[in-house]
């Protein structure tokens, strides 16, 4: 783990593996994988085979300072480009999940020379009126009763399965609860208003992303329904789609072996 300072703001960065650099941008559910002392997830362990995985905690998440008030997704994208500069990474493969997938796409759009190949795992970011998902922040807000079952039901295909309960148990320890709800603030700063967690302009700009792209989707995703995948696939010039049947939005946690194999086959 290292702590970088980017434009006066602290960024916690986890590294794993050796080889060509791979930037991993975490999502709504797998934030712990980027924040020590939590152990890396099986997906990150798999990606670290044959690559140096660089996994920053996104702005506002525990371990990384938030951006300035009223910052938007473009500001966050510039922040990531500045982070690559601070890490002396000229050109990288990028794997982004969920929220991180949205930011990965925005990064590839604005800084195409920094991206070799792009993997978007259930990316947020598009507003597809005929295939809008469930409102994430409504489910994720603290209720005071009932634990985190509602948000598990949105993020995971099996909300009462071992992976979902291990990730977001009803009795979430205090330090992890601070990370979880602090992270929600970071995500909300980028996408609180309806339609949530998207950039209305992104869909019309996808054709400008020239990097070869792999889209990986959960067949039972409730946050970003798989029906949105075709909008991404047809909008990106060089994209192909893989669907993981039976997985939800947090498919990198639910089926890391299959997702990891898809990513590895694409990148290597």
Buried b (16+ CB within 10 A) or exposed e, 184-223: bebbbbbbeeeebbbbeebbeebeebebbbbbbbbebbbb
Q: Is the pLDDT of residue 36 over 70?
A: no
Between the alpha carbon of residue 125 and those of residues 32, 85, 120, 167, the distances in Å are 22, 24, 11, 24
- pLDDT tens, position by position, 55-105: 999 998 877 888 988 889 999 999 999 999 999 999 999 999 999 999 999
Between the alpha carbon of residue 110 and those of residues 69, 82, 165, 204, the distances in Å are 22, 12, 38, 14
> What's the confidence (pLDDT) of residue 174?
81
Q: Identify the CA nearest to 1 among candidates 53, 59, 68.
A: 53
Is 53 within 8 Å of 24 (Cβ atoms)? yes
How high does pLDDT run on average in the chain?
A: 90
Average pLDDT value for residue range 27-46: 72
Average pLDDT value for residue range 113-130: 96
> What's the confidence (pLDDT) of residue 207?
96
Of the chain, the percentage scoring pLDDT greater than 90 comes to: 65
- pLDDT tens, position by position, 237-250: 999 999 999 999 99
Domain ranges, residue 131: 2-267
Q: Is the pLDDT of residue 153 over 70?
A: yes
Number of domain units in the chain = 1
Is 102 within 8 Å of 198 (Cβ atoms)? yes
Is 17 within 8 Å of 49 (Cβ atoms)? yes
Of the chain, the percentage scoring pLDDT greater than 70 comes to: 94
Q: Is the pLDDT of residue 50 over 70?
A: yes
Is 78 within 8 Å of 109 (Cβ atoms)? no
Q: What is the pTM for the complete model shown? A: 0.94
Distance between CA atoms of residues 164 and 156, nearest Å:
6
Q: Is the pLDDT of residue 39 over 70?
A: no
Average pLDDT value for residue range 19-43: 78
Average pLDDT value for residue range 212-231: 97
Q: Is the pLDDT of residue 231 over 60?
A: yes
Q: Is the pLDDT of residue 163 over 80?
A: yes
At 33, the pLDDT band (50, 70, 90 cuts) reads very low
> What's the confidence (pLDDT) of residue 69?
87
Average pLDDT value for residue range 110-138: 94
At 34, the pLDDT band (50, 70, 90 cuts) reads very low
Query: What is the CATH classification number for the domain harbouring 128?
Result: 3.40.50.1820
My answer on whether omega of the bond before 37 falls inside 30° of 0, hence cis, is yes
Q: Identify the CA nearest to 15 among candidates 51, 64, 59, 69.
A: 51
> What's the confidence (pLDDT) of residue 183?
80
- What ranges make up the beta strands (E) of 17-167? 21-25, 52-56, 92-97, 115-121
């Amino acid at each position: 783990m290292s702590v970088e300072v980017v434009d006066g703001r602290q960024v916690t960065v986890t590294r794993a593996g050796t080889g060509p650099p791979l930037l991993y941008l975490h999502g709504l559910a797998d934030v712990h994988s980027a924040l020590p002392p939590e152990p890396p997830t099986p997906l990150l362990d798999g990606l670290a085979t044959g690559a140096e995985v660089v996994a920053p905690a996104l702005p506002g998440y525990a371990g990384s300072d938030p951006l300035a008030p009223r910052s938007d997704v473009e500001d966050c994208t510039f922040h990531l480009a500045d982070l690559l500069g601070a890490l002396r990474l000229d050109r990288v493969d990028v794997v982004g999940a969920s929220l991180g997938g949205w930011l990965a796409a925005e990064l590839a759009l604005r800084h195409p020379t920094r991206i070799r190949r792009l993997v978007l795992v259930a990316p947020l970011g598009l507003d597809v009126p005929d295939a809008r998902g469930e409102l994430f922040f409504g489910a994720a807000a603290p209720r005071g009763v009932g634990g985190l079952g509602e948000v598990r039901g949105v993020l995971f295909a099996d909300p009462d399965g071992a992976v979902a309960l291990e990730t977001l148990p009803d009795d979430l320890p205090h330090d992890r609860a601070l990370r979880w709800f602090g992270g929600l603030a970071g995500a909300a700063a980028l996408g609180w208003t309806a339609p949530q967690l998207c950039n209305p302009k992104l869909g019309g700009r996808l054709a400008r992303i020239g990097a070869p792209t792999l889209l990986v989707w959960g067949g039972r995703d409730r946050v970003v329904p798989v029906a949105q995948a075709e909008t991404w696939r047809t909008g990106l010039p060089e994209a192909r789609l893989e669907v993981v049947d039976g997985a939800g939005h947090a498919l990198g946690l639910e089926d890391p072996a299959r997702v990891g194999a898809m990513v590895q086959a694409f990148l290597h």
